[in-house]
């Protein structure tokens, strides 16, 4: 039976040269000169034996494993798979593999998982987690591991960030609602400990103020999680305390919950109250009413963050842009209409 895996030594024996020569012949990048026909001979032998380099051994020696870590809150959340594919689409052709971990937005898991990645010697980390304060990742970045964050910026730490233009997204929705005639616009905000929740809320409040719209404290409800149940609960509380004609939700799932609440109460959306989401999850167009929302660049975010990381990994001296913001687009569907005549 064939040996489990072939090594450089096997090729060396086969071709009658030293293993270092084989190594150099197979990696022209290290600048060593090996005669062309010897290179051919060695490559042929490698091919014939089915040689596959042992990256553990190489990584041990070089401190580069051609592996990167990707930290996300939860792959089950529909926005993350496209990001992952985007990351993979640039990393894989370059020979990198990615180890993905789900943090569930828990600080404890986050610190744990950072170690899981570092023990495996990842060359860099793409950090798509959304926790506002993440102790460990900053430490890792300081220690020299390339890190790029997506969808959140870590304040004043020099960690590059790839983000969608949330400020613009919120303004687009708001203008759309305003054009339709809405004046009392409420907000169901995302969890306070998540950067997206926080930032969209601030964008909303700023924009509303600038537009001169009324916004009593009851006009913004804080959700505890980005899910439908919370959307339902927040919508209920909102209508108990105020009488908005439109609800701008911090993400699609909250919006779905809110719409469900309206339906359960017999309130027509959009005829009586308009609702908007954020993210443009798949299949939203098939719902009734279709959800007006903001489409964010997911695949693109993944790609850009990976490109940035590659730059940092291959040239540690290069100064990476500290922030990269990607465009968003408003998607108009049925959940927004003019407010009731009243």
Report the interface residues with DNA, using CB under 7 A. Answer: 5, 7-9, 16-21, 23-24, 26-27, 30, 32-35, 38, 51, 53-54, 57-58, 60-62
| Residue 26 contact, options DNA, its own copies, none, Cβ 5-8 Å cut-off depending on partner type | DNA
Q: How far is the CB of 109 from DNA (least distance, A)?
A: 23
Spatial CB neighbours of 25, under 8 Å, sequence gap ≥ 6: 34, 38, 39, 42, 43
What is the closest distance, in whole angstroms, from the C-beta atom of residue 145 to DNA in the complex?
Answer: 15
Q: Which stretch binds its own copies (CB under 8 A): 150-158, 171-179, 210-218, 283-291?
A: 283-291
Helix axes 80-91, 298-314, angle to 10 degrees: 40
Residue 288 binding result from DNA, its own copies, none, given CB thresholds of 5 to 8 Å by partner type: its own copies
56 touches its own copies (CB under 8 A): yes
Contact 323, 163 (CB under 8 A): yes
Residues contacting 6, CB < 8 A, separation 6+: 46, 49, 50, 51, 52
Crossing angle of helices 36-49/8-15, nearest 10°? 120
Q: Pick one of 49, 287, 324, 326: the residue that binds its own copies (CB under 8 A).
A: 287
* CA angle in degrees (0–180, nearest 5) for 70-74-78: 105
Among 13, 52, 210, 332, binds its own copies (CB under 8 A): 52
Q: How far is the CB of 299 from its own copies (least distance, A)?
A: 9
Q: Nearest to residue 147, comparing CAs of 161, 164, 129, 166?
A: 161
102 is a site residue for its own copies (CB under 8 A): yes
Task: For the CB of residue 138, give the shortest distance to DNA in the complex, in Å.
Answer: 23
Q: Name residue, tokens 């809320």.
A: 201
**Of 19 and 106, which has the nearer Cβ to DNA?**
19
Candidate ranges 38-46, 116-124, 231-239, 316-324; the one touching its own copies (CB under 8 A):
116-124
Determine the Cα–Cα distance for residues 35 and 39; give it in Å rounded to an integer: 6
What is the Cα–Cα distance from 55 to 127, expressed in whole angstroms? 24
Angstrom distance (rounded) from CA 199 to CA 203 = 6
Q: Are 258 and 249 in contact (CB under 8 A)?
A: yes
Q: Which residues of 181-213 are buried (b: 16+ CB within 10 A; e: fewer)?
A: ebeebbbbbbbeebbbbbbbbebbbebbeeeeb
| Shortest CB 277 distance to its own copies, Å | 13
CA-CA-CA-CA dihedral for 309, 313, 314, 319, to nearest 10: 70
User: Of the ranges 91-99, 148-156, 269-277, 327-335, which one interacts with its own copies (CB under 8 A)?
Assistant: 91-99
Q: Which residue among 18, 20, 32, 115 contacts its own copies (CB under 8 A)?
A: 115
21 binds, among its own copies, DNA, none (CB under 5 to 8 A by kind): DNA
Binding site residues, its own copies, CB under 8 A: 2, 4-5, 52-57, 59-60, 65, 67, 74-76, 78, 80-82, 84-85, 88, 92, 97-102, 115-121, 143-144, 256, 281-283, 286-288
């Amino acid at each position: 039976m064939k040996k489990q895996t072939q090594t450089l030594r096997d090729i060396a024996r086969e071709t009658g040269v030293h293993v270092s020569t084989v190594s150099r012949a197979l990696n022209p990048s290290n600048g060593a000169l090996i005669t062309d026909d010897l290179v051919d001979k060695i490559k042929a032998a490698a091919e014939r034996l089915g040689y596959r380099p042992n990256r553990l051994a190489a990584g041990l020696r070089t401190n580069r494993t051609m592996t990167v870590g990707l930290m996300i809150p939860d792959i089950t959340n529909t926005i993350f798979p496209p990001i992952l594919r985007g990351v993979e689409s640039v990393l894989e052709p370059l020979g990198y593999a990615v180890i993905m971990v789900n943090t569930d937005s828990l600080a404890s898991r986050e610190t744990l998982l950072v170690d899981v990645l570092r023990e495996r010697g990842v060359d860099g980390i793409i950090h798509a987690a959304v926790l506002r304060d993440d102790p460990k990742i900053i430490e890792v970045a300081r220690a020299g591991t390339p890190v790029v964050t997506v969808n959140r910026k870590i304040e004043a730490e020099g960690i590059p960030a790839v983000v969608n233009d949330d400020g613009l997204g919120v303004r687009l929705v708001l203008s759309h609602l305003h054009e339709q005639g809405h004046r009392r616009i409420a907000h169901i905000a995302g969890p306070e400990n998540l950067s997206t929740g926080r930032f969209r809320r601030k964008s909303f409040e700023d924009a509303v103020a600038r537009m001169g719209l009324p916004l009593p404290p009851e006009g913004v409800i804080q959700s505890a999680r980005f899910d439908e149940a919370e959307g339902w609960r927040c919508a209920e509380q909102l209508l108990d305390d105020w009488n908005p004609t439109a609800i701008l939700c911090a993400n699609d799932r909250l919006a779905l919950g809110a719409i469900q609440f309206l339906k359960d109460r017999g309130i027509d959306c959009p005829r009586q109250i308009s609702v908007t989401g954020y993210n443009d999850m798949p299949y939203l167009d098939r719902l009734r009413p279709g959800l007006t929302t903001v489409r964010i660049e997911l695949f693109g975010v993944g790609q850009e963050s990976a490109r940035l990381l590659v730059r940092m990994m291959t040239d540690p001296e290069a100064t990476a842009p500290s922030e990269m913001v990607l465009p968003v687009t408003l998607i108009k569907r049925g959940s927004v209409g003019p407010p009731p005549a009243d």
